[in-house]
Structures are given as C-alpha cells and as structure tokens.
C-alpha cells in the first residue's frame, strides 16, 4: 500500500463530500462523521507503525518523478501530528453532539469540520511548499465557515477580522513562495533544501526566511502578530474553539518548524536568533494576557500563545534536546488544550457565564468536573508525572546546552504563570461560596463529560508513558536534525 500516507487526508475528505448529500439528516451526519474519523484514525495508526518500521514514507502524486510532481511525505513528526489531530477531532465531534445545537448541525457543521481536518492533515503531510499553501487555504476556508456558523453578532464581527487577517497573510504566503521560486526555481521542499544548500543561503534567502516567519507567525500567533487571536477565538462556540485552539495555530508552528529545520539552516545566527527573541516575547505577552483576564475563555486562549512561544523557543535551539522537547510539547499541547477547552465549556454550560467573578463553590455540586479540571491544569503547567513535564524539561535542557540561560529561566518562570492562571480558574470556580446556578439539564452535562475525561486520561497516559514514546519522538527528531534523511526519502533516484 504505497498510498497509505494519503488515507488520513482522503478519508475525511470523502466523508465530508458524502455528508453534503445528507444536509437535513442529523443522525446520518453524526454517525458518518464518527465512522469517517475512526477510519482515518485507524489508517493513521497504521501509518505510524509503517513509518516506525520502514522510515520516512514519501510518494509523488501522479507517478511523476520526484521534484516534478507534488510529493507527499510522512515522517514520524507529521505522522504523530496527524494522529493527534484526528484523535482530538474525534472527541470534539462527540462533545458537539450534546453542545452545538441542532440549528448548527443542520448547516454543514460536520462537513466543515471534516474539510478542516483534510486541510490540517494535508498541511502536516505535504512535501511541496505551494501545496502547503493550498492545504492552508482548505483548512482556513473551512474554519471561516465554522467561526461564522450560527450568525451571532459577535461571531459576525470577529469573523470579519479573522478573515481579513488570514486573507492578508495568505497573500503574503503566495508572495513569499513567489520570491522563493524565483530564487530557487523549485517548489518541492526536499529539492528546495538541496538547492539552498548548494548556493549556501545568500542574503535573499535569509530575507525569505524572515518573510516565512511573518507568514506562519500570523497563522501561528507569534509575538507581534498574535493580535487577532484572542478576539477571534472567543467568538465561536466551545467545540469550534477547542478545534481551533488545539489545531489551527499548531499548523503554523509545524510550518515554522519544517521550514526552519529543512530550508533555512545555514545562517542560524540570524534566523534562529530572531525566532528565539520572538518566541520569548510571545511567552511574555501570553503570560501578561493569561493573568490579566477574569474570563475563562481568554485565560486559556492566552495559554495557547504561551505554548506557541515555548515550542518555538525549543525549535530555535536547533539541538537534539530542544527539538525533541518541542515535539513532545507540541503533541502534549494539542491534547491538553483540546481537553481544557472542552472542560471550560462544561463549566460555562453549568454556570451560564464565562466570568470568573460570578462563579464559586462548584466543588460541592460538580466534584468530578473539579478533579478532572485540576488534573488537566497540572498537566498544562507540567507537573512531573503528567504530560507537560517532559517536553518542557527537554526544552530547558536544550536551552542550557545552547547557553541560553536567560531564556530557560523565562520558560521556567512562565510555567509558574501558567499554573497560576489556570489555578485561578480552579480557585474561583470550584472553591469559595456557592453561587446560585441556573437550572441546567443533567444529561448534556454527562455526555459532555465523557469525551473531556477521556481526553484528559489520554494526556495523562501520554505523560506516564513517556518512556514508551521516546523511540517515536527520537525518530521524529532525527529527521528534523538531519534533513538528508528527508531529502533522500523524497528524491530517491
């Protein structure tokens, strides 16, 4: 099966198309979505084992020889991200059954999710820079639908900003690819890497590297370019927010990691130093935001910004510990952000508000929710047996090895801020004097709890089972550290 690496992309796409035919039938929509995601999950698990056994999988579409056709490449890094993406989507979809509401379900909600997953998985798997642009558009256009679906006033206002920012950054993406193409003359990522190594990264390539950083920085919310994120992400309903928070910014991060480990590795003193400074500023800006708000959504949204900074800080070290820490932290962050958004969604459902000051004493009425939230919060902050620990530890280790003492101390201090910000939610919402809760149905609460709890359990297993995951992570790191593995896999002959 040489086409195995395409299945996580094709299957959601196929099911999304089929769902277009059953617009009004909600039961069919739900069951086909779950079936499609399960099938995609199975194929992506097969893909991981295949990549583990046989090394990097590459295929050039249409049987064309390698640099001329569109190559799709699945190394361990992208295979892990694809699997995580599908897992999170699966839980978010189950969560939406009881929370998104019939009106939205009848208006292409599930097809939009599946199209978005097609785009996300495609962007993770592609080996062609222009094809990456196309998959970015696939996921963005689906996300435009998801952010505006429902048509509340706030959604309409924020979706205008969101679309405007993304259209501009997409245009810049095309311009950047055009520059790169005019200098290098190829679009295949492995081939670009070879050609850049041949000419030894002159100044213009460094300029293009910075342009790529700006483009992907807008998509992935890097420091001066994250301004659109807090407003836009707070607008859509919680399941959509969970998908966005867990997946969309991470695609930008993946693209930065890919380009900065495969293309622009010959002038690290400038490009990666810039990335380092920006990532530290991102962390600081995120920390300020996370402490400033008394709104559940905003606190977790600013935690996304912090996590982006931490991951990219790990990448900017360009050594083994830093990169493998970044990969560990990236997968962890996708899982835990998904879980946290689902959990605060339940808190908002129960209390009927997202304002922390109007909550209190939930521990008496909703104890399981409290404990699960506490575990997720500790996992986010990186308390040892839980999932956030290993990644951040490796990142800090890498930074000390590279001699960035100040940076590592800022990372460690940011963990405290993260812990403080999520514990504040815990203290305000679960302790203290009980406030009067609006009357809510117990059934949706239970059916929303199940996917969230399973996701938290998965993230705990991810933390506890680190030892078992290390061979996979080191495979992923090897490809990032040695672009020759990637290049050889694509340009075989």
Pick from 489, 466, 493, 491: nearest CA to 50: 489
By 3-state DSSP, what share of the chain in percent is helix, strand and coil, each rounded to 5?
A: 80, 5, 15
φ/ψ of 60, rounded to 5, equals -110, 120
Q: Rounded to the nearest whole angstrom, what is the least distance from the CB of residue 169 to other proteins in the complex? A: 24
Residue of 27, 53, 63, 438 interacting with other proteins (CB under 8 A): 63
Residue of 43, 60, 249, 279 interacting with other proteins (CB under 8 A): 60
Q: Which residue pairs from 426-430 have beta carbons closer than 8 angstroms and sit at least 24 positions apart in sequence?
A: 426/370, 426/373, 426/374, 426/377, 428/294, 428/356, 428/357, 428/359, 428/360, 429/296, 429/347, 429/351, 429/356, 429/359, 429/360, 429/362, 430/361, 430/362, 430/363, 430/370, 430/373
Asked whether position 45 contacts other proteins by CB under 8 A, the answer is: no
**What is the CB neighbour count within 10 angstroms for residue 200?**
9
Q: Rounded to the nearest whole angstrom, what is the least distance from the CB of residue 62 to other proteins in the complex? A: 4
Asked whether position 53 contacts other proteins by CB under 8 A, the answer is: no
116/300 with CB nearer other proteins: 116
Estimate to the nearest angstrom the gap between the alpha carbon of 186 and the chain centroid.
28
Residue 155's SS3 state is: helix
Q: Rounded to the nearest whole angstrom, what is the least distance from the CB of residue 248 to other proteins in the complex? A: 23
Q: How far apart are alpha carbons 306 and 304 in whole angstroms? A: 5
Residue of 8, 12, 13, 191 interacting with other proteins (CB under 8 A): 13
Q: Rounded to the nearest whole angstrom, what is the least distance from the CB of residue 422 to other proteins in the complex? A: 42
Q: Rounded to the nearest whole angstrom, what is the least distance from the CB of residue 60 to other proteins in the complex? A: 6
- Taking CB under 8 A as the binding criterion, the range among 53-61, 128-136, 303-311, 323-331 that sits at the site for other proteins is 53-61
Asked whether position 433 contacts other proteins by CB under 8 A, the answer is: no
Q: How far apart are alpha carbons 361 and 177 in whole angstroms? A: 54
CA angle 142, 148, 149 (to 5 degrees): 85
Asked whether position 440 contacts other proteins by CB under 8 A, the answer is: no
Residue of 6, 86, 323, 346 interacting with other proteins (CB under 8 A): 6
Asked whether position 59 contacts other proteins by CB under 8 A, the answer is: yes
Q: Rounded to the nearest whole angstrom, what is the least distance from the CB of residue 493 to other proteins in the complex? A: 14
Asked whether position 61 contacts other proteins by CB under 8 A, the answer is: yes
- Taking CB under 8 A as the binding criterion, the range among 61-69, 315-323, 342-350, 409-417 that sits at the site for other proteins is 61-69
Asked whether position 468 contacts other proteins by CB under 8 A, the answer is: no
68/468 with CB nearer other proteins: 68
395 Cβ contact list (under 8 Å, min separation 6): 310, 311, 313, 314, 317, 321, 322, 325, 326, 329, 411
φ/ψ of 395, rounded to 5, equals -60, -45
Residue of 27, 62, 203, 438 interacting with other proteins (CB under 8 A): 62
Asked whether position 135 contacts other proteins by CB under 8 A, the answer is: no
Chain contacts with other proteins (rule: CB under 8 A) = 1-3, 6, 10, 13-14, 17-18, 20-21, 23, 59-63, 72
């Amino acid at each position: 099966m040489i086409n195995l690496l395409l299945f996580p992309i094709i299957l959601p796409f196929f099911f999304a198309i089929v769902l277009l035919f059953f617009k009004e039938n909600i039961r069919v929509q739900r069951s086909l979505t779950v079936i499609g995601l399960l099938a995609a999950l199975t194929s992506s698990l097969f893909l991981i084992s295949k990549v583990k056994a046989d090394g990097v999988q590459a295929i050039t579409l249409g049987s064309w020889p390698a640099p001329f056709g569109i190559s799709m490449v699945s190394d361990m890094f992208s295979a892990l991200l694809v699997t995580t993406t599908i897992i999170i989507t699966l839980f978010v979809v189950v969560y939406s059954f009881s929370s998104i509401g019939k009106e939205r379900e009848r208006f292409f909600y599930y097809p939009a999710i599946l199209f978005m997953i097609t785009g996300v998985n495609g962007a993770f798997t592609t080996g062609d820079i222009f094809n990456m642009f196309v998959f970015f558009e696939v996921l963005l256009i689906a996300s435009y639908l998801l952010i505006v679906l429902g048509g509340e006033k706030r959604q309409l206002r924020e979706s205008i900003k969101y679309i405007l920012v993304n259209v501009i950054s997409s245009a810049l993406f095309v311009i950047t690819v055009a520059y790169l193409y005019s200098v290098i003359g190829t679009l295949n990522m492995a081939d670009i890497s070879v050609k850049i190594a041949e000419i030894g990264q002159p100044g213009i390539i460094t300029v293009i590297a910075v342009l790529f950083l700006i483009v992907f920085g807008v998509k992935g919310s890097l420091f001066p370019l994250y301004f659109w994120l807090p407003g836009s992400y707070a607008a859509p309903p919680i399941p959509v927010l969970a998908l966005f928070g867990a997946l969309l910014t991470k695609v930008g991060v993946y693209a930065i990691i890919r380009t900065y480990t495969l293309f622009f590795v010959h002038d690290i003193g400038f490009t990666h130093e810039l990335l380092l400074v920006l990532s530290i500023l991102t962390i600081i800006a995120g920390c300020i935001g996370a402490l400033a708000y008394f709104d559940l959504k905003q606190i977790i949204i600013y935690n996304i910004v912090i996590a982006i900074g931490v991951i990219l800080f790990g990448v900017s070290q360009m050594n083994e510990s830093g990169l493998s820490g970044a990969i560990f932290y990236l997968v962890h962050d996708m899982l835990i952000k998904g879980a946290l958004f689902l959990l605060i969604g339940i808190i908002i459902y129960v209390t009927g508000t997202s304002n922390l000051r109007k909550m209190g004493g939930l521990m008496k009425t909703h104890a399981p929710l409290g404990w699960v939230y506490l575990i997720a919060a500790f996992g986010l902050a990186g308390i040892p047996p839980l999932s956030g620990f290993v990644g951040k530890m490796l990142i800090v280790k890498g930074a000390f090895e590279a001699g960035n003492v100040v940076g590592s101390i800022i990372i460690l201090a940011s963990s405290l801020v993260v812990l403080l910000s999520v514990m504040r939610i815990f203290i305000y919402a679960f302790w203290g004097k009980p406030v009067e809760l609006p009357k809510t149905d117990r059934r949706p609460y239970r059916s929303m709890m199940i996917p969230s709890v399973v996701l938290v359990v998965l993230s705990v297993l991810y933390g506890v089972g680190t030892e078992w995951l290390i061979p996979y992570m080191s495979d992923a790191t090897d490809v990032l550290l040695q672009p020759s593995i990637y290049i050889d896999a694509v340009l075989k002959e």
